[in-house]
Structure 1
């Protein structure tokens, strides 16, 4: 029976992703143990899940738990400290690189959005300018068609409207 080759991409389904993580983690630890036994190598594997939970495997007498550290002498404690410092510095360096990469990506996106925003503002100004020029052009055309413009002031109010200038309070319509 031939196995299908699996595409290396993030598994979208969270349940399937967690199940795959558990199975592959056990397989990884088993392979590390086999490599240690077959090749007489010291192997340590540290895995963090997506939730931040720590899983570790160590083939040697290196102790990772507080209870086991009590039995180490000073030299072994210094060695363990150095190993942990190197590991921690690698983790911090990788973390910083990823943060800087994300920052650069976000900066590019901001620059692109800013440029797109400026282009849209230019287009809006152009459209607005065209509208105003059309209105001005239409009013010039209507003036040109009429030949001249007669501006007449509004007619003065009639006697009936002039007489009733008192202020009335209350609802606009009486029942």
Structure 2
């Protein structure tokens, strides 16, 4: 017959309980030894019987292993304490920020004219003063921006006028250069016509009137 499952509970018979303790204690020690050898682990086992007798196994020095365990337990305990402290701190900060958010939302609703029924006369007066100061700052900022925009527009207009004047000067210069680069024949004809008109006017002003006289009559020459 195969081995059946044993119900895990206290064995009431003293003899059976003692036999089971010895068998399982030795098996536990054997498993500890195998674990230390196979896995290169530091193993320490301490077992107290119901009569107070101690049984132990250590792959290394028992005292150094226990000291290492105590140190690791202390570090874990300190780490847990730090984590718990941080958690409490963040919870408090979260609650504080939530209260601030609620307060700001309530103030914004009041500024929008909502939920004013819960305010008394003094609080309403304070709210009115805040609104007036806010409106004054908004108007001041608006005037500053409008003035800056006007100055910028004027400066831009001045720059455009200056650029326009430069362009006009360039156009005039280009037209003058085009006149100077006319074809030679056209330029000569224009100058000749101009000089002809001027010289004719000078001759008419400076010379005396021309008198036409009849030529003497020719005499006949007779040869005898």
Question: Which TM-score band (shorter chain)?
Answer: 0.3 to 0.5
Q: TM-score, normalised by structure 2?
A: 0.35
| Structure (1 or 2) with the greater helix fraction | 2
Q: TM-score, normalised by structure 1?
A: 0.44
